[in-house]
Structure formats: C-alpha cells, structure tokens
Amino acid sequence: MKIVPKVLVTKIGLDGHDRGSRVVAAHLRDAGMEVIYTPPWQAIDAVVKLAIEEDVDVIGISSLATDHRIVPKLMRALRDADVTGVAVIVGGIVPDADEAMLLDAGVARVFHPGASLDDIADYIRSIVPAMREARSVTWETWHE
C-alpha cells in the first residue's frame, strides 16, 4: 500500500519568521504529503503532544533566529515521552558549528539555506518507511 507521509511543520521558541515554514508546508503538500502546520511560538510540550496525537512520521522545525538551540530540549522531551519512530529535521539558519550539536542530540538532518524543496521532500520520503515500521502495531498487540 502507498504510504502517505505525515509531517508536522512547526516552530518552537520566540522567533515569528514563518514564511519559510509555510513555503515548506505548501511544497510538501504538493509533493503528496499530509502536513500538520502550526503557527510559530509552539511550546515544546505542545509539540510533543501534537506529534503523539497526530502520529506523525517527521517533525520539521523551522529556525531562522537561533531557535535551533532549543531543539535539544525538544529531543529530550520526546525521549522522556517515549516517542520513537519519529524523525526530527531542522531547516533554516543553523551555523555549521551548531549542526554537530543538533545531530548529537538526535536530529536526523539539518537543511541549510539553499537546500532545494525537492531535496527535503525526497529525504522525508526516504525515511518515512523506517519510521512507520518502528511505530507499527499489529493486531496481536491490541490484547494484553
């Protein structure tokens, strides 16, 4: 069966520059994905709750003004909530020196200025099957 990737496109922190996240959301929609879009300024706990309830494959964080530095907090909150099988990607302005810090924290991939929209969509498509597999439940597990 064809998998329709489910992607959360959001922004955490105090920066309100949301044009980038809107462009990415629209492109992923046109690439055939189901996109949950939120306005900026989301609380980390709210993002975790949303990711669980919507059962998303990917969380895309847009960061244009240093909000990427709190992404490790998000990664910790996801771990604390036992969220597995969900990839976190970050796009926007991330200094090279900070990229390693994000990858260390468990971020799957960082997209820098100049990254093509198609590359983002292709990357998401390439990782979704593994995410689905990791979150999959079978009928047997419905029983105690």
Partner 1 sequence: MQMNEPPTLARLLGGDRRAIAQAISTIENDATGQDDLSRALAPHLGRARVLGITGPPGAGKSTLVNALLGEIVARDLSAGVVAVDPSSPLTGGTVLGDRARMGEHGGHEHVFIRSLSSRGHAGGLARRADRIVDVLDAAGFDVVIVETVGAGQSEVAIDALADVRIVACPPGLGDGLQAIKAGILEIADVLVVTKADLPGADAAWRDLADMLRLRREGRTKVPVLKTIAAQREGIAKLVDAAFAHVDATGRGQRLRTRLPHESARERMAPDTTQDESAPDRVTRLASRDPFAGFLGIECIGGGAGCATTRLRIGARHINFNGGCHGGAIFALADTAFGLASNSHGRLASGIEAHVAFHVGVREGDELTAHATQISRGNKLATYRVEVTRSDGKLVASFSGTVYVSARGHAG
Query: Applying CB under 8 A, which of residues 17, 69, 125, 135 lies at the interface with partner 1?
Result: 135
Residues with Cβ within 8 Å of 133's Cβ and at least 6 positions away in sequence, in order, are 85
Using CB under 8 A as the binding rule, whether residue 19 contacts partner 1 is answered as no
Site string for partner 1, 76-115 (x = CB under 8 A): ------x-xx------------------------------
The residues in 36-65 that bind partner 1, with binding defined as CB under 8 A, are 36-39, 42-43, 45-46, 49-50, 52-55
Three-class secondary structure assignment of 21-87 = HHHHHHHHHHCCCEEEECCCCECHHHHHHHHHHHCCCEEEEEECCCHHHHHHHHHHHHHHCCCCCCE
> Least distance (Å) from partner 1 to the CB of residue 83?
8
